[in-house]
Amino acid sequence: MGRRLVPLTLDNLPDLPKRCRSCVFWELDPVSGEAAVQAGRSESEKESWISAVLLEWGSCGRVVYVDEVPVGYVLYAPPAYVPRSTAFPTSPVAADAVQLITAWIMPGYQGQGLGRVMVQTVAKDVLRRGFKAIEAFGDARWKEPACMLPADHLLAVGFKTVRPHHAFPRMRLDLRTTLSWKEDVEMALDRLLGAVQKEPALRPL
């Protein structure tokens, strides 16, 4: 089974699920997001957001391919690019962290370790860009696919709760210890994340 993770660009944006291509939950503040949906502009707003982040910061996601079939993706960016994050009761995301925005793996490809591989790929990227951690808002009451990651999944791939909340805890994967290890980044991340024994595959969002 050949699998690869490719940086998200406008060229491969169509490989995301259709509902995700037109979702602006994170990319716009609540008022602007609702207005975009009502006006039928959400898909173009999503493209504009990705384009702006690409120009100013670089690729903000990865698309997962298995045997050339797109089976999942992950989206992440510094919190300054994620207006919705300020609406959460456990905000703000720390200044030294990149926000893991959302992720998804196609049913049938879950349980194969792709969730852990995605987190490792994001971690390697943000370390190279000088950030010390990844943070995310978990959904402690997750029941069905949505824009947020289940809190128990984040715990399973190595995150720890830094600001508890009954519904939306803010969670963090601290990478600072990795920087002090005398190993290459990939091996260090294998040590950091490899000890996690719980099921690492992402649920479909």
**CA neighbor of 166 nearest in space, from 147, 205, 139:** 139
Percent of the chain clearing pLDDT 90 (strictly above): 68
Bridge partner residues of 7 (DSSP)? 62
pLDDT-derived band at 87, boundaries 50, 70, 90: very high
Beta-bridge partners for 3: 66
> What does DSSP assign to residue 62?
E
Read off the pLDDT of each residue in 107-123 and give the average, rounded to a whole number. Answer: 87
* Residues whose CB falls within 8 Å of the CB of residue 28, separated by 6 or more in sequence, listed in order: 36, 45, 49, 83, 84
Q: How many other CB atoms are found less than 10 A from the CB of residue 144?
A: 7
131-170 per-position pLDDT tens digit: 999 999 999 998 877 889 999 989 988 899 999 999 999 9
Q: Establish whether the linkage from the previous residue to 92 is cis, with ω within 30° of 0.
A: yes
The amino acid occupying position 67 is D
* Per-residue pLDDT, 1: 62
Cα distances from 97 to residues 7, 75, 120, 124, in angstroms, run 19, 14, 15, 13
pLDDT value of position 193: 53
| The model's pTM | 0.85
Q: Are 140 and 105 in contact (CB under 8 A)?
A: no
pLDDT exceeds cutoff 50 at 200: no
Helix (H, G, I), strand (E, B) or coil at 128: helix
Q: Cα 59–153–141 angle (5° rounding)?
A: 110
If you ran DSSP here, which 8-state letter would residue 25 be given? T
Query: How many Å is the Cα radius of gyration of the chain?
Result: 16
Tokens of 106: 């196609």
Q: What is the average per-residue pLDDT within 71-93?
A: 95
Distance CA 149, CA 65 (A): 20
pLDDT digits (tens, 9 = 90+) for 13-63: 999 999 999 999 999 999 999 999 999 999 999 999 999 999 999 999 999
Find tokens 């490792």 and name the residue: 120
- Give me the pLDDT at residue 103, please: 93
